[in-house]
Chain A
Amino acid sequence: MYDISKYEDAHTVEEAIALLQANPRAVVISGGSDVLIKIREGKLPAAELVSIRGIEELKEIKLEGDETVAIGAAATFTQLTRHPLISRRLPLLTEAAGLVGGPQIRNMGTIGGNVCNGATSADCAAPLFAFNARLRIQGPEGIRTVAIQDFYQGPGKVALGHGDILTAILIAREDYSGFSGCYIKYAMRNAMDIATLGCAAAVRLRDSRVEELRLAFSVAAPTPVRCPQTEELAKGRTVDGILLADIGRAAVSEVQPRDSWRASREFRLHLAEELSKQAVAEACRRAGHESDRESDEEGDGEGGAEK
């Protein structure tokens, strides 16, 4: 049963902000795939909801003048997986969005909700971290832009005040152009699951050397994280097994997974090492890098684990 005491539909962002300002108890609902679960679990008694489902501009996925990809916060995962602009420019995000829940969840759930929920396990978070995504937030004071790493403040905590609406997720050209990526969602099931660990790698190669590496994890810390030291050590290096091993080792030192009944810290650390190697290897392969010893069955990193 859903204990909902009030439900208001906003048709514009301004209206949504006004409705929120008028009601300190109001909670934003978009796809509902997180909010409805909280209500069912009794975590939002007598919930008062402001729906932004009817705001058309929030569903838009478009290219802005400087070739920044702007993804409306209310774009659903299904929309993302099918949008040619995303699959051409941000295939890493297409890959991650296609691994969220199951078809029904992907039809309901939105990328904005995925981020605003503040969960470290959000499937889109690691790719967005890798893309240096910036979040456009509109509030009573106007519009501001926040880097995604500053947006996540802790488990379930994001830099969003009451009355603020995330309107778009922005990815600048220099953050995607020339990159190849790979997202590995490691979960117990191939669908309808949350990640035990998620790993996104984006790499730009020049002459078989790493020009730039971006490595990000979900569920490896209280919030999604990047691995700056690992990225640094990869710079300029030739792509080979030694580099992958170094990346795996370094990545482990940059994550802080928790010990829980779902998975031990030790197991998650092990996965961080394995997945970072595999994700980087696959990203390099997608960037056109071919191993000299591809046929060697001793080789690690036979593609992503979870498709």
Chain B
Amino acid sequence: MSVGKSIPRVDGLVKVTGKAQYVDDIFEKDMLYAKVFRSAIANGWVKSIDTAAARALPGVAAVVTYEDVPEHSFATAGHPYNLDPARRDVADRRLLNRRVRLYGDEIAAVVAVDEFTAEKALSLISVEYEEYPPVLTAEDALREGAAEIHKGTKNIIASTNYRLGDVEEAFARSDYVFEDSYSTSTVQHCAMENHTAYAYIDNNGKIAVVTSTQIPHIARRIVGEALGIPWGRVRVIKPYVGGGFGSKQDAVVEPLAAFLTTRVQGRPVRLQLTREETFIASRVRHAISFTFRTGVSKEGALIARRGKAVSLNGGYASHGHSIAANGGNKYRQIYDQQAIQYEALTVYTNMPSAGAMRGYGIPQMTFALECHMEDVAREIGMDPIEFRLKNIVRQGWVDPLTGIRVNTSGLAECMAKGKELIQWDAKKKELENQTGPKRRGLGMANFVYASGTHPIGLEIAGARIIMNEDGSVQVQVGATEIGQGSDTVFCQMAAETIGLPTDRVFIVTEQDTDVSPVDLGSYASRQTYVTGMAVKKAAEEIKAKTLDYARFMTDIPVGAMDIADGWIVYRHDGERIMTVAEVALNSWYNPAAAAPITADVTHNARVNALAFGCTFVEVEVDLPLGKVEVREIYNIHDSGKVMNPKLAAGQVRGGVSMGLGYALYEQMLFDPKTGKPLNANLLDYKLMTAMDTPEIGVEFIEPFEPSAPYGNKALGEPPAITPAPAIRNAILAATGVKFNQLPMTPQRLVEKFKAAGLIRKNPKDF
């Protein structure tokens, strides 16, 4: 057995020794370096630009502006192409822009012999702007007569609305109705590796882009669209990647890098964003404001729910309205009720473009929902855990809009486990009637997530396996390892299904769209679920062919044989017949029958599985200092069967850390007068350090999901969802103060504690 074991990461050694090559570790002969000339205003347009001095600087190979790039616009979101034009992403971006839509918008680019010369050349470009007031809020964007960031949009990217059941009647029938508003902040992914790519024209005349991406095949199509060339003329290569978290489920640097190499006769051009540029010029998480209205019965049953979401998107659509819309889906898929409505609106603003980020709208929605559920439970005097338990969707529930059926749900068990781990009941009692400047509290929150995007998005994945002469195999996938551990898990899957020891299974970690199987990439927590099935199918084919070849060699019927630990064995008693290596060698070199054993499959997943879980947390709040210490935190996940417990726990800890930052530390700030980012660097943007991170407890409830290749469900994104609402609810339990806005920073805490009279003015005691 290989699946379910904590085998070491297949890329662990090369990563810790520094041997693994990331984009910036790879150098080409005659490489040139590009730098982008960015706007120093947030809203307006370029009246004139003078690049003569930059062009004249020795060492500058090319200077291009908005005048030199194709006229047409393109979409950057990392979604599969849609044959239905109405369902494609918003094509609102050009390679370089005259119309400035955010501070740092891309106006021109310089290509030079080195980065230093390129930067010097940037300082020699002068522009004249006509500036408009920046649009930084939904109110500004929607104000009658507001300047349109994109013509003809009224600053609205999209709005959607669904209703199930008679909502008005259900509210009227409810014993109590509660309504409240909650808001989340703009945060950035802060992957360790910034956005970076280099492009060149290869020996086939193709434009090759070596890039830190989650989505090689989709990026190829976007580059083709951006340059207006046939997609097959583009090649995308993905080496090792230092994290993405959704920001690299987008074409951020690839189109421009590809264009720039065409301006310098195909010489390699590197376009590497600095950390500061990554903050403003890549992608961010949508800040979304919610108003939730909930009708309940006296017994605590949800009767009617109505959610409204307004999502701030920034200057370009990127993933646009998909984020707020996804929130609306999970809003419906976690608790059941008789009638429900959800309205969402996504608007343009003059801020960094919001795109995909771990959780894809669900951390935002779940913060609001789980705060609201807590508040409602308290209002009706019900235990917040009991209230949730009474209303969660259960096994057999079918989502009326997507048809997704809950085959397995371990949510109730997750909640029970969380209660036990944190000693909920005992501590609740202990924490009654606290006084003094430091107060402790318990909180929890639930989430639901999906395994991939079906039925909203296409879910295809390719896998190819080739058996070597010695019976070892190479696995190739189009799915991308970006740090999450998918390569390791795919090896485990192939080993499991073929019947090989894991050390006989190798994976090609690099994707090259000219070579790799077709896959959509790393997003939507899809790869173990969707690509895993492709790997399983390919491995089954390898196994069948191996057994068939063994039959040819031995005349033992295929049905009588199996493969275990690299041996062909009798199925009935496990007695060894011959090694897989003997079969493999013969399959390569038998003069008459040679046909090396290979498989190449594509899987189209037309199923989905909901993953569930929760966070339980105990905090200690220092009232006068406004600091929150996380004393204990547990994330309990139903991700179905866990493929590799150690890697899975690592995934959970990383996600919880991201959730803690979302709760207490992180937010991008902008000057309200100019729209200039105030803290686009890692000093002023308070990403947590190891010193701020508590021990994180991880547990799994493991029902076997029948729609999955190995009983597994989504795990990549879910860990980041519930820490924020759980902490908010714990602070509420500790202090009685509701924080409905993220992040819960010390200053915000102190201001509200003062207003609530919790900070004593004149302590009498030492």
Contact = CB atoms under 8 A, between A and B. Distances in A.
Contact of A194 (B438, B683, B691): B683
Nearest to B119: A1
Interface residues of A, number: 41
B683 A244 contact: no
A22 interface: no
A193 B684 CA distance: 8
A150 interface: no
Nearest to A194: B683
Contacts of A262: 684
* Residue with the highest number of chain B CB atoms closer than 10 Å, among A42, A186, A188, A271: A188
Interface stretch (A7-15, A136-144, A235-243): A235-243
A267 B625 CA distance: 10
Interface stretch (A110-118, A174-182, A290-298): A290-298
B692 A3 contact: no
B720 to A, nearest CB: 19
B765 A299 contact: yes
A3 B684 contact: no
A193 B262 CA distance: 43
Nearest to A101: B683
B751 A267 contact: yes
B667 to A, nearest CB: 11
Given A267-B747, A300-B437, A302-B438, A189 B689 contact: yes
A139 to B, nearest CB: 33
A188 B438 contact: no
B688 A245 contact: no
Contact of A189 (B625, B665, B766): B665
Contacts of A301: 766
B686 A281 contact: no
Contacts of B765: 240-241, 291, 293, 296, 298-300
B669 A261 contact: yes
A305 interface: yes
Nearest to A102: B689
A291 B766 CA distance: 6
B629 to A, nearest CB: 10
Contact of A281 (B625, B751, B762, B766): B766
Interface in B93-120: 115-116, 119-120
Contacts of A271: 625
A188 B746 contact: yes
A239 B745 contact: no
B142 interface: no
Contacts of A239: 766
Contacts of A244: 763, 766
A188 B665 contact: yes
A267 B437 contact: no
Contacts of B625: 186, 271, 274, 305
Contacts of B645: none
Interface in A1-26: 1, 3
Contacts of B115: 1
B763 A245 contact: yes
B436 A190 contact: no
B48 interface: no
Interface string B656-691: 000000000100010100000011001110101111
Interface string A166-192: 000000000000000000001011111
Contact of B627 (A192, A241, A291, A305): A305
B688 A1 contact: no
B19 interface: no
B423 to A, nearest CB: 21
A264 interface: yes
B766 A263 contact: no
Contacts of A298: 435-436, 763, 765
B587 to A, nearest CB: 54
Nearest to A190: B691
B750 interface: yes
A226 to B, nearest CB: 23
A292 B765 CA distance: 9
A197 to B, nearest CB: 10
B266 interface: no
Nearest to B627: A305
B151 interface: no
A262 B683 CA distance: 11
A305 B120 CA distance: 45
A186 B123 CA distance: 38
B622 interface: yes
B624 A300 contact: yes
Contacts of A274: 624-625
A244 B763 CA distance: 8
A294 B438 CA distance: 15
B764 interface: yes
B272 to A, nearest CB: 11
Contact of A245 (B436, B627, B764): B764
Contacts of A196: 746
A1 B766 contact: no
A271 B754 CA distance: 13
A242 B123 CA distance: 59
Contacts of B120: 3
Contact of B764 (A3, A189, A241): A241
Contacts of A296: 765
Contact of B762 (A3, A245, A263, A297): A245
A83 interface: no
B624 A188 contact: no
B496 to A, nearest CB: 42
Interface string A186-216: 1011111110100000000000000000000
Nearest to B436: A297
A264 B116 CA distance: 38
Interface string B429-440: 000000111100
B688 A189 contact: yes
Given A241-B766, A298-B435, A264 B747 contact: yes
Given A1-B115, A240-B766, A302-B438, 8 more contacts: A1-B116, A3-B116, A189-B686, A241-B763, A261-B669, A262-B684, A300-B437, A300-B763
30 contacts: A42-B123, A186-B625, A188-B745, A189-B686, A189-B691, A190-B692, A191-B689, A193-B683, A196-B746, A244-B763, A244-B766, A245-B762, A245-B763, A261-B671, A263-B747, A274-B625, A291-B766, A293-B765, A294-B766, A297-B435, A298-B435, A299-B436, A299-B765, A299-B766, A300-B437, A300-B624, A300-B760, A300-B765, A301-B766, A302-B437
